[in-house]
Amino acid sequence: MKEKVNELKQEVLKKIENINDLNSLQNIKTEYFGKKGKITELSSILKELDASQKKEFGMLLNEIKTYVTSSIDSKQKEIENRILDEKLEKERIDVTLPGTVIKNGSPNMLEGLIEDLEELFIGLGYDVVEGPEVEKDLYNFELLNLPKGHPARDAQDTFYIKNDEILLRSQTSPVQVRTMLENTEKSPIRIICPGKTYRRDDDDATHSHQFTQMEGLLIDKNISLADLKGTFDIIAKHLFGDKVETRFRSSFYPFTEPSVELDVSCFNCGGKGCNICKNTGWITVGGAGMVHPKVLTNCGYDPDLMSGFAFGFGVERLAMLKYGVTDVRTFYTNDLRVNSDRKDV
């Protein structure tokens, strides 16, 4: 009896081993576990045995049932997996075909640079303030210590709109004036004012009748040129890397006294001299100075109590230097082949 059971077991296992498809497996199931299946039939013998044999044979039968069932199950899984694998293989795609084009919009390079600097200044406690582009002569020039007829106005050939009173601003400095005037408590000020500016220049590779400035103004007690130098250091290193050095050169602006040019050591050649720095090792990137006492007075601040610095950058110039643009018109052409959608713009 025992032998017969084992024989049956071996027989089933052998059959399963050679099977490759689910149908044949199902046939085996029927052959052994179906109504008239060989294993099912063995169970009917059980009834005819006496109690002691029943127990022994029952255990044996259970064992073989479990064993065979699990063998069939694992065979079934094996076949199913194989079929799935074959199916998936047929679904293979060409991963080298291009992806769907989902474009992210890019900022104009000037805007990218402005936002980058704004982030820096906001971190330093500056507010970002803007003002009108159609401006009064009073704010654009007169209160900035540039009275009518002042020869220094020559440097800013201006578009006038109405008489000689309303103009397109030639600099963003009027925003400083407005901010100082609006501050009725005459309390400290820390602002930057980026914006569009206009001068009567014919457009070419290095001139643009419309351009962008970013100016800064800080007014508080005991502010000195050394504070300006430290602030400029941060801007320069932020823009051109930690290795650049800075220097002041004496300059003139009607609204600052003393006035300085802001130079950085050439980030291209490291100061050795190249065509970017015109072999001087230094590049002028902006102008600055201590706010002129007349400007402070004009705007209601007492130069004996408060002092401050102001600085200004031409954003186009910075962008040309930083990104290697050689024609200022590039910023206004908006050629979509220029892809400045980059985390560092």
Partner 1 sequence: MMRISTSWLNDYVDISDEDLKELAGKITNAGVNVETVEEYNTPNLVVGQILEIEDHPDSDHLHVCKVDVKDEILQIICGANNLEKNMKVIVSKIGCVLPTGIEIKKSTMRGVESCGMMCALSELGLEEDNEENHAKGICKLPDDALIGSNPYNYLGLDDTIYNLDLNPNREADCTNHIGFAYETAAALGKKVEMPVTKCHPIKDSVLSELEVDVLTDNCTMYNARKVKNVVIKESPDFIKERLTNCGMRPINNVVDISNYIMLEYGQPLHFFDADKLGKSIVVRMALNGEKIVTLDNQERILTTDDIVITDGEKPVCIAGVMGGINSGIDENTKDVVIESAIFDPLKIRYTSIRLDLKSEASRRYEHGLNYEYTMEAIDRACYLLEKYADAEVLLDTITYDNVDKTPKVAKVTLSKINSLLGVDMTLEDAKKSLNNLQFPYELKGEEFTVTIPNRRNDVAMREDLVEEVGRLYGYNHITSKLPRLEDKKGGYRESVRLRKCISKRLRSLGLNETRTYTLISPEMDGMFAYEKHETIKLLKPLSSDKSVVRQTLIPSLLNVAEYNFARNMDDVNIYEISNVYYDTDKEETKITILMSGNYIYNMWQNEKIKSDFYVLKGIITNLLDYLGYEGRYSFTSTKDINDMHPGATALINVDNRPVGFLGRIHPKINKREIYIAEISMSKLEEKKTRSYKFKELNKFPSIVKDVAFVMPLEMESSTVEKEIKRSAGKLLKKVQVFDLYRGENISEDEKSLAYSLTFMDDNRTLTSDEVNELFNKIIKDVCDKLKIKIRN
Where in 55-114 is the site for partner 1 (CB under 8 A)? Answer: 97-108, 110-111
* Distance, CA of 154 to CA of 151 (rounded, Å): 6
Q: Which residue number, 17 or 304, has a Cβ lying nearer to partner 1?
A: 304
| Shortest reach from residue 318's CB to partner 1, in Å | 15
Considering beta carbons, is residue 37 or 107 the nearer one to partner 1? 107
- Which residues in 212-241 contact partner 1 (CB under 8 A)? 218, 220, 222-227, 229-234
Beta partners for residue 287, in sequence order: 261, 312
Q: Does 274 bind partner 1 (CB under 8 A)?
A: no
DSSP-assigned beta bridge partners for residue 167: 135, 160
CB 290 within 8 A of CB 256: yes
Residue of 161, 205, 276, 305 that binds partner 1 (CB under 8 A): 161
* Stretch of 8-16, 19-27, 67-75, 159-167 lying at the interface with partner 1 (CB under 8 A): 159-167
> Under a CB-based contact definition with an 8 Å cutoff, are residues 198 and 170 in contact?
yes
Q: What single letter denotes the amino acid at residue 175? A: V
For partner 1, which is the closer residue by CB, 51 or 226?
226
Please identify, using beta-carbon distances, which residue of 64 and 246 lies nearer to partner 1.
246
Span interacting with partner 1, options 16-24, 61-69, 123-131, 268-276, rule CB under 8 A: 123-131
The residue (of 24 and 284) whose beta carbon lies closer to partner 1 is 284
124 contacts: CB under 8 Å, gap ≥ 6: 190, 231, 234
* Interface positions, 285-314, toward partner 1 (CB under 8 A): 290, 292-293, 303, 307
Q: Return the number of the residue (34 or 258) whose C-beta is nearest partner 1.
A: 258
- Out of 115, 116, 138, 142, the residue judged to bind partner 1 by CB under 8 A: 115
Where does this chain touch partner 1 (CB under 8 A) — which range of 39-47, 48-56, 75-83, 146-154? Answer: 146-154
Q: How many chain residues interact with partner 1 (CB under 8 A)? A: 86
User: What is the number of other CB atoms lying within 10 angstroms of the CB of residue 256?
Assistant: 25
What is the C-alpha separation between 97 and 119, in angstroms, rounded? 39
Least distance from C-beta 201 to partner 1, angstroms?
A: 8
Site for partner 1 in 185-214 (CB under 8 A): 188, 190, 196, 198, 200, 202, 209-210
Query: Which DSSP symbol is given to 60?
Result: H
Range 309-343 burial, b when 16+ CB lie within 10 A, else e: bbbbbbbbbbbbbbbebeebebbeeeeeeeebeee
CB of 69 closer than 8 Å to CB of 62: no
Alpha carbons 213 and 171: distance in angstroms, whole number:
7
Give me the phi and psi of 97, to 5 degrees please.
Answer: -70, 150
Compare residues 143 and 296 and give the one whose CB is closer to partner 1.
296
- Cα torsion for 150, 151, 152, 154, to the nearest 10°? 120
State the minimum distance, in angstroms, from the CB of residue 327 to partner 1: 15
C-alpha–C-alpha distance, residues 123 and 117, integer Å: 10
User: CA 222, 227, 231: angle at the middle one, nearest 5?
Assistant: 145
Residue in this structure with the two tokens 């000195």, named with its chain if needed:
224
Q: How far is the CB of 232 from partner 1 (least distance, A)?
A: 8
Residue closer to partner 1 by CB (options 13, 234) is 234
Using rule CB under 8 A, residue 142 touches partner 1 = no
If the CB atoms of residues 159 and 323 are measured against partner 1, the closer one turns out to be 159
**Positions in 313-342 near partner 1 (CB under 8 A):** 331-337, 341
